[in-house]
Chains A and B, each alone.
Chain A
Amino acid sequence: METILIVEDDAKLAGLLSAYLSKYEYHTVIVKDFSAVLDSFQESSAELVLLDVNLPKYDGFYWCRQIRSLSLCPILFISARDSGMDQVMALENGGDDYITKPFHYEVVLAKIRSHLRRAYGSYAQNQEERKLQSGNLTLYPERLVIQYHGETAELTQKEVLLLEALLQKEGRVVSRERLLDLMWEDQHFIDDNTLNVYITRVRKKLKDLGLEEAVETIRGAGYRLSLSGINE
C-alpha cells in the first residue's frame, strides 16, 4: 500500500481526494501544518505527493524544491492556475506533472497510477488487476473479459466502458448523457444511434452468458443494469 501525501489547503478538497484514493487502496496523509510540510513528508514517508501551488506561507514551488532535496518521489501539482508559465515553473521546480482545477477523480487517479508505476516499477508489485464484481458476474476491464458462472465472453473497449459504468451503479439508472460522455473518447463523436447499437451488443453478450434482460431501458432517462433476481 503506497502512501500519498496531500498538500492542499482547502480541507474539503483534501478530504474528498483522500476518501477517493482510500477506496483504491492508497494510504493518504493530509498535511495540516503548512509551515512544516517537509516534516509531514518525512514522517509519512510518502511515495507520492499531491501538491497545491497556492498555499499559506510558502507556495507549492518552494515545498517542491524542499522535498526534491530529500527525495526523488513523484510530485504532482494540483493548481487552479492554468497558464503555460505556471506549468513550466512547476516542472522546473522539480514537479513531475501538473493537474489543473477543476479536475475529475479519474484524471488524478490515472496520473497517480502512472507515476507510481514509473517511479517504483509497481507493475510487478501491484499485479492485482482491476475487477468489478456483482454476485456471480465479474468484469475484468483490463482484459476486456466478462465472466458469469464460469462462462466468459470477450468484449470490445467500448463495451467494457459501457458495462463498467453500468456495473458501478448497478441497480441505478445511468443517464444516456453520462454514457455518451464516457464513450466520446479521443475526440470521436458518438451519437444516440451508435449508443443504441453498443447497448444492443452488450445485451447480446450478456444474453449469451445466460443473463437475459439485465440491461433495462428507462425511457427518457437512460439505462439500468439490474442483476437482482437473476443473479444469485
Chain B
Amino acid sequence: MMRLFWKDQLPLLLIYAAQTVLVPLLYWLSGENRPIRIILYGMSLNLVILALYLGFRYLQHYRLYQRLSHPESARLDYRSSLGTAPLPEAMDELIRRYDQHNQEQLNTQVRRMDQHIEFINRWVHQMKTPLSVIQLTLQDVEGAAADSIQEELERLRKGLEMVIYTARLDRFEDDFHVEPTFLRQAVSEAVSENRRLFIRRGIRPVIQISEELSVYTDAKWLRFMLTQILTNAVNYTQGTDKSVTITSYSQGMDNILQITDQGIGISPEDLKRVFNPYFTGERGRQYHESTGMGLYLVREICTRLGHKVELESRPGEGTVLRLIFSGTRSLQ
C-alpha cells in the first residue's frame, strides 16, 4: 500500500527535489551570498510542510490506496465508502454506477432464467396431460403397434422427467430434503418403476441390499439418479441371460451402492468424459439412445447432495458404477 502511495507521489517528490536545489542555485548564481543556515532553515521548513502535506494526503486517501493495492480482498466490501476527499468520492461514484449497471444486467439475466425455468416447468406439466390421454387410450388398443407406442410413450415420459429435473437442478437449494432413506426400498422402487425396460430387454435385476441399511439422502433425487443409472445399464446390455446387479457394502464410515452391468462397457478414453454434459461417446452413437445427460446429471446431483460417484469399466465385460454416501453412518 505504501509503495503505491510513494509511486503516486513520485512526481511531486521529484519536483520538490528540483525546487530545493533550484533556489540555492539561484542564490549562488545571482551572487547573493545568503548564509548557509538560512538556506538550510528554509529547506527544512519546506520539508516539514511537504511531510505534513504527504501525511494529510495519505490519511485522506488511505482507503483508496488500500483498496487499489489489494483489489482481490476488496471485492467483498466494494460498496463501502472510500472517503470524503474529491478523488475517493469520484471513485465511489464511478464504482456505484458500474455496480448499478452490473446489478441491473444481472437482475435481467436472473429474471430471464427464472422465466425460462418456469416456462420449462409449465410446459413439461402441460405435456403430461396429453401423455395421460395417450396412455389411457392405449389401454384399449391391442397388438404390436400398441406395445411399440407404449415403449415410445415411456421414452417421452423419461425425456420429460429429465427436462424437469435438469431445470430443477438450477434451483436445487429450494428443492431438496435430506433424511434417512432405506436404500433397499429406494432401489426396489426404482427397479420396479423401470420394469418394462428390463422386461423388454430380457435383463434380470438382482438386488442384494440389506433391508435395514439406510443412508442420508434425498429420496426423490436418488430415485431420479437410479433411473438414469439403470436406464444406462440396461440400454448398453445386449444378449440373453444377462443381469444388472445392485449391491451395497460399507467402507469405513461410507455406505456404497454398487450397480454392475454386463454391458458393452466404456472405452478407457471415454471413461473420463462420460460425466461431461452432452457427451455420448462411441457407445452412445452406436446405440442412439443416449442424450449424454444422464451421467452428467448424476454427478451434479451427487455433488450437491454430498455423495460421490465412481465409474469403472472394461469394454466388452461391463460397467460398475458406485454411489458413495460418504460420512453417513448407517442407521441400523
Residues of B within 8 A of A (CB): 124-126, 128-137, 139, 142-143, 147, 153, 157, 175, 177, 188-189, 191-192, 195-196, 198-200, 202, 204-205, 220
Contacting pair A180 B136 (CB below 8 A):
no
A9 to B, closest residue via Cβ: B129
Bound state CA distance, A165 and B128, in angstroms?
A: 27
Contacting pair B196 A177 (CB below 8 A):
yes
Contacting pair B128 A184 (CB below 8 A):
no
Q: A127 an interface residue at 8 Å Cβ cutoff?
A: no
Contacting pair A101 B196 (CB below 8 A):
no
Specify which chain A residues have a CB less than 8 angstroms from the CB of B175 in the assembled complex.
83
- Of the listed stretches A115-123, A146-154, A185-193, chain B binds A185-193
Bin the interface of chain A by size: 20 to 34
Interface centre among A12, A80, A84 (most CB of B within 10 A): A80
Bound state CA distance, A184 and B125, in angstroms?
A: 28
What's the least CB distance linking A145 to chain B, in Å? 26
Q: A104 an interface residue at 8 Å Cβ cutoff?
A: yes
Specify which chain A residues have a CB less than 8 angstroms from the CB of B199 in the assembled complex.
177, 180-181, 184
A108 to B, closest residue via Cβ: B136
A81 to B, closest residue via Cβ: B125
Q: A54 an interface residue at 8 Å Cβ cutoff?
A: yes
Contacting pair B139 A13 (CB below 8 A):
no
Question: With A54-B125, A184-B192 known to touch, is A13 a contact of B204 (CB < 8 Å)?
Answer: no
Contacting pair B139 A104 (CB below 8 A):
yes
From B125, B153, B188, A80 is in contact (CB under 8 Å) with B125
Contacting pair A172 B142 (CB below 8 A):
yes
A191 to B, closest residue via Cβ: B204
What's the least CB distance linking A141 to chain B, in Å? 18
Specify which chain A residues have a CB less than 8 angstroms from the CB of B143 in the assembled complex.
173
Chain B residues touching A, majority SS: helix
Bound state CA distance, A184 and B139, in angstroms?
A: 18
Bound state CA distance, A172 and B140, in angstroms?
A: 12
Contacting pair B136 A20 (CB below 8 A):
yes
Contacting pair B131 A105 (CB below 8 A):
no
Specify which chain B residues have a CB less than 8 angstroms from the CB of A172 in the assembled complex.
142
Question: With A181-B199, A187-B188 known to touch, is A175 a contact of B147 (CB < 8 Å)?
Answer: yes
Interface centre among B128, B130, B177, B189 (most CB of A within 10 A): B128
Contacting pair B133 A16 (CB below 8 A):
yes
Contacting pair A13 B132 (CB below 8 A):
yes
Specify which chain A residues have a CB less than 8 angstroms from the CB of B132 in the assembled complex.
13, 101-103
Q: Which 8 residue pairs spanning A and B have beta carbons closest together?
A: A80-B128, A187-B188, A80-B125, A102-B132, A101-B128, A187-B192, A102-B131, A101-B132
Bound state CA distance, A83 and B124, in angstroms?
A: 13
Interface centre among A80, A102, A184 (most CB of B within 10 A): A102
Specify which chain A residues have a CB less than 8 angstroms from the CB of B198 in the assembled complex.
189
Interface code A193-215, partner B: CB below 8 Å = 1, 0 otherwise?
00000000000000000000000
From A84, A101, A192, B129 is in contact (CB under 8 Å) with A101
Contacting pair B192 A105 (CB below 8 A):
no
A20 to B, closest residue via Cβ: B136
Contacting pair A13 B126 (CB below 8 A):
no
Contacting pair A16 B126 (CB below 8 A):
no
Interface residues of A in 82-107 (CB under 8 A from B): 83-84, 101-105
Specify which chain B residues have a CB less than 8 angstroms from the CB of A178 in the assembled complex.
147
Contacting pair A104 B135 (CB below 8 A):
yes
Bound state CA distance, A105 and B139, in angstroms?
A: 9
B190 to A, closest residue via Cβ: A187
A186 to B, closest residue via Cβ: B192
Q: A232 an interface residue at 8 Å Cβ cutoff?
A: no
Bound state CA distance, A13 and B175, in angstroms?
A: 30
From A101, A102, A104, A192, B202 is in contact (CB under 8 Å) with A192
